[in-house]
Structure 1
Amino acid sequence: MQEEAPYINTWCKTVERSLDWGESSSWNDHDFEKLGELIFQKTGTLLSITTLKRIWGRVKYNNSPTIATLNTMARFAGAEDWRIYKKNITAEKKICTPPVSQTGIKQKGYIIVAMGMALVVVVLGILAARNLAPPKVVKPNLNGPVKFSSRKVTDGLPNSVVFDYDASALNIDSVTLQQTWDPSRVERLATSGRQHTSIYYYPGYFTAKLIANGQVKKENSVFIKTRGWTGIIGRNNNPVYLDDKDIHRSGAMGLDSKTLALKLSSPVFNGQWLSFYNVREFGGLDGGDFTFETTLRNTSGMDESSCRKMILYILGKQNAIIIPLADKGCISDLNIYTSSDWISGKDHDLSAFGCDFSNFQKLKCEVRDMKLSVYLNSKLIFTKPITQTITQIAGICIAFEGSGEIKDVKLGNRDKVVLNDQFEK
Structure 2
Amino acid sequence: MNSNFEIIGVLDIGSYQLKFIIFKIHNFKFEILSKSISYTNGIKKGSISDLGQLSESIKNIIGKAEEDIKIKIKNIYVCPSPSNSSFVNFCQSKNIGGYEVDHEKDIQFLINSGVALFKDQNKNCNILHLFNLNSKIDKDVVCENPTGMIADTLENEMNIIYSKTNTIKNFEKVISKTYLKSEKIIYAPYALALLSYTDNPLADMSMTIDFGHEKTSVSIFRNDSFVYSSSIPVGSWHITNDISKALNLSFEISENLKKDHSSCLIVNSDKIQEFVEMEESGFKSYKKISNNILNRVVNARVEEIIDLINKDLIFLRSKNINFNKILITGEGSKIDGFQTVLKEKLCCKSLSIEKFQPKIKKDISDNFDVCISVINLIINPYPKEIPFFSNKKKGFFEKIYSLLN
TM-score surpassing 0.5?
no
Query: Counting helix residues as a fraction of each chain, which structure ranks higher?
Result: 2
Largest Rg, 1 or 2: 1
Higher-RCO chain (CA-CA 8 Å, sequence separation at least 6) = 2
